Amino acid sequence: MTTTDSTPPHCPPELLHGAKKISVGPGLTGLLWTGVRTQLSGPARQYLRGTFPAVAVQAFTATTEQYWQNWLSDDNLDRLAGLVVVLDSTGLPVAWVASNDRRFGGRSCFYANSAGVHPSYQGTGISSTIWRALLRAAIVKAAPRSLYAVMRTANPLVYGAWSAATGRTDSTWPAPDGAVPEHVQRIAADAAADLGQADRLDPHTLVITEAYDDTEAGLWTQRPTSDRTDIDDWFATILGPRDAFLLIVAFHPVRIMLDEVRRKARRTLGLRGSPSSRSSRAHD
């Protein structure tokens, strides 16, 4: 959806070139690149390298600006399938998400490469909004086959948001009391190999040991918490400071379409829908 927000006055034209503007909220501008290698220009990359790392280290407090300079290298950017950056009124980045198209375990996969939100904007739903901009197109592209979203995370907020996004209780792995099916284990094995961490993956728990070994203390000085104590305790019990889950979430296009038809029919008939189990707006 195209935004009606004005472009930040300090945003250089070269950053806008090749990007689609998306709606993210009052006073903010979202820029979407779906072909990063060809659409994100050299001057735009330089602009991000000059402004992005200082924001990223505030979102991930145990990282360094050099860590994010490396993440913004041409080699890494050219491997991205999608990128969304949110700018404030001064043209500075305040949130981002990035994805890769992958095929793991013989399945179409959406690899959630990275996401972050400046502390001043955390809890506002920005991350969920901009993830949907990338994920929606990927689900349509994969249809009628299922699309598996894959990500490496140690953040309970991320786990809860992506689990809630499916609208189902049987489409998220790992789960505190659930087994990991064989087809999901195959996806995880290929994903861990793609990360160069195949030897660190436990296929039964989907834990990658020392996943963040390029930082001294992991991503945060203190792990974020969510609104679910059971999930927070599970993360604290099973993950060390530099460990992560390889989170896998299934999206089924046919089910999504049927659910949407049911919701529209209920609204038309004036029926109330069932309350959501939890909000996905806490996704940071």
In the chain, what are the domains? 13-282 (3.40.630.30)
pLDDT band, residue 282 (cuts 50/70/90): very low
**Residue 201, pLDDT score:** 98
**For residue 226, pLDDT beyond 70:** yes
Top-ranked range on mean pLDDT: pick from 4-8, 22-26, 69-73, 269-273: 69-73
**Residue 272, pLDDT score:** 52
User: Which residues, other chains included, contact 194 with Cβ-Cβ below 8 Å and sequence gap of 6+?
Assistant: 102, 104, 111
User: Which residues, other chains included, contact 257 with Cβ-Cβ below 8 Å and sequence gap of 6+?
Assistant: none
What is the average pLDDT across 118-131?
A: 88
**Residue 257, pLDDT score:** 53
**For residue 129, pLDDT beyond 50:** yes
Question: 3 versus 207: which is more confidently predicted?
Answer: 207
The share of the chain scoring above pLDDT 70, in percent, equals: 85
3-state SS class at 144: coil
**Residue 255, pLDDT score:** 63
Beta bridge partners of residue 150, listed in sequence order: 111, 248
**For residue 267, pLDDT beyond 90:** no
